[in-house]
């Protein structure tokens, strides 16, 4: 009786088989439907096979049409992998679920089968790879017969050196003004024909601080790129020869996860600092003050100069060493190795008591940073 009632629903063979999609493996829903039809004929005689299925509307016979639609929509994009998604009428999906519930809820939705079977078909014809992390996610709206795309960003890892004191790492509000991000990103847009870009840095240096030595890690992200297979050597050369005093190296394609990895990295940094005082510097007192800071934990409340952009919290940091290169009349040249996230300017000037202790408080007089450079990030490279 159950078999008879199943065929009274006037479903096509595939939709009939899909009612029991989860009963066994190694079969397609078309195979299941044919087996059910054979059993019906064996017991009850011939069954009427429908020409037009009310449930699927014969959509599985229309793959050529959808292939053409997807091909037209993706024609301007370079990609190696894809993922198929779809949208079906909500009432239709509810009707199918209700029908399948009457037979033990052992089936799958038409949406799931369409995504799988059209994905196989598209891979075979296009030569592209099906992937759960695709270059392009293809969403087919079967209600209105249109195709929408979600393009995965292209990510390139690298390191940058900044040999100037007048440029920020990222773009200011509304993307105006030159920045490290814009210098690198503008070249990336040219090569990828992307819509936008974002620079993700492993920390940042102040506008007036040079980034030298082994460079700062970054990932540059191209948003909605049309070209993915770019020549990284040409990309590097375009940035490095721009005359902007920004130089990139060690470029490699990477994934979004690399952004998180570099942002969470914590490396000691070495700084070259020129310090000045309004008065002559007492060399012995200065050396003693610097020595007292090494190896102890300092407390740094978020600096006054950045408090509008960052949470007002207290950070505990360790100064690994301070080497004094030279001391003049009212200037001193030092190298400082400090824990990641240490504010070096405030370590020197004290920031009105927000950094405790500071070089100024240990010395007993006000000291200021005249110039500051990052000369190494201790990554072990």
Catalytic residue positions, numbered = 206
**Residue 373 preceded by cis peptide, ω within 30:** no
Residue 203's CB is within 10 A of a number of other CB atoms, namely 19
What three-state secondary structure class fits 137? strand
Tell me the backbone φ, ψ of residue 345, rounded to 5 degrees: -60, -45
Give dist(CA 304, CA 352) in Å, integer: 9
Q: Which residues contact 255 (CB under 8 A, 6 or more apart)?
A: 155
Tell me the backbone φ, ψ of residue 69, rounded to 5 degrees: -65, -45
Give dist(CA 218, CA 159) in Å, integer: 6
Report whether 73 contacts 145 (CB < 8 A): no
Give dist(CA 286, CA 296) in Å, integer: 17
């Amino acid at each position: 009786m159950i078999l008879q009632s199943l065929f009274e629903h006037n479903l096509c063979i595939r939709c009939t088989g899909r009612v029991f999609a989860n009963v066994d493996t190694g079969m397609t829903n078309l195979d299941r439907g044919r087996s059910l039809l054979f059993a019906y004929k064996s017991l009850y005689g011939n069954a009427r096979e429908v020409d037009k299925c009310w449930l699927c509307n014969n959509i599985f016979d229309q793959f050529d049409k959808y292939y053409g639609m997807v091909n037209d929509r993706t024609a301007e994009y370079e990609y190696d992998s894809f993922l198929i998604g779809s949208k079906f009428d909500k009432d239709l999906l509810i009707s199918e679920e209700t029908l399948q519930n009457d037979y033990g809820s052992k089936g799958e939705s038409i949406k799931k089968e369409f995504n799988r079977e059209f994905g196989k078909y598209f891979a075979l014809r296009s030569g592209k790879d099906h992937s759960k992390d695709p270059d392009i996610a293809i969403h087919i709206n079967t209600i209105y017969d249109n195709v929408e795309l979600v393009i995965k960003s292209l990510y390139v890892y690298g390191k940058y050196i900044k040999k100037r004191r007048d440029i920020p790492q990222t773009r200011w509000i509304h993307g105006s003004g030159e920045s490290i991000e814009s210098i690198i990103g503008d070249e990336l847009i040219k090569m990828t024909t992307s819509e936008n870009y974002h620079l993700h840095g492993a920390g940042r240096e102040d506008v007036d601080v040079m980034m030298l030595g082994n460079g700062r890690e970054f990932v540059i992200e191209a948003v909605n790129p049309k070209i993915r297979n770019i020549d990284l050597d040409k990309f590097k050369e375009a940035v490095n020869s721009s005359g902007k005093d920004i130089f990139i190296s060690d470029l490699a394609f990477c994934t979004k996860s690399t952004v998180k990895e570099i942002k969470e990295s914590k490396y000691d940094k070495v700084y070259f600092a020129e310090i000045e005082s309004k008065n002559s510097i007492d060399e012995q007192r200065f050396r003693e003050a610097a020595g007292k800071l090494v190896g102890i934990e300092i407390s740094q409340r978020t600096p006054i100069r950045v408090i509008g952009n960052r949470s007002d919290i207290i950070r505990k940091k360790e100064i690994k060493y301070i080497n004094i290169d030279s001391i003049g009349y009212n200037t001193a040249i030092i190298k400082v190795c400090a824990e990641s996230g240490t504010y070096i300017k405030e370590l020197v000037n004290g920031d009105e008591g927000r950094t405790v202790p500071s070089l100024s408080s240990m010395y007993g007089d006000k000291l200021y940073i005249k110039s500051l450079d990052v000369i190494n990030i201790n990554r072990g490279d």
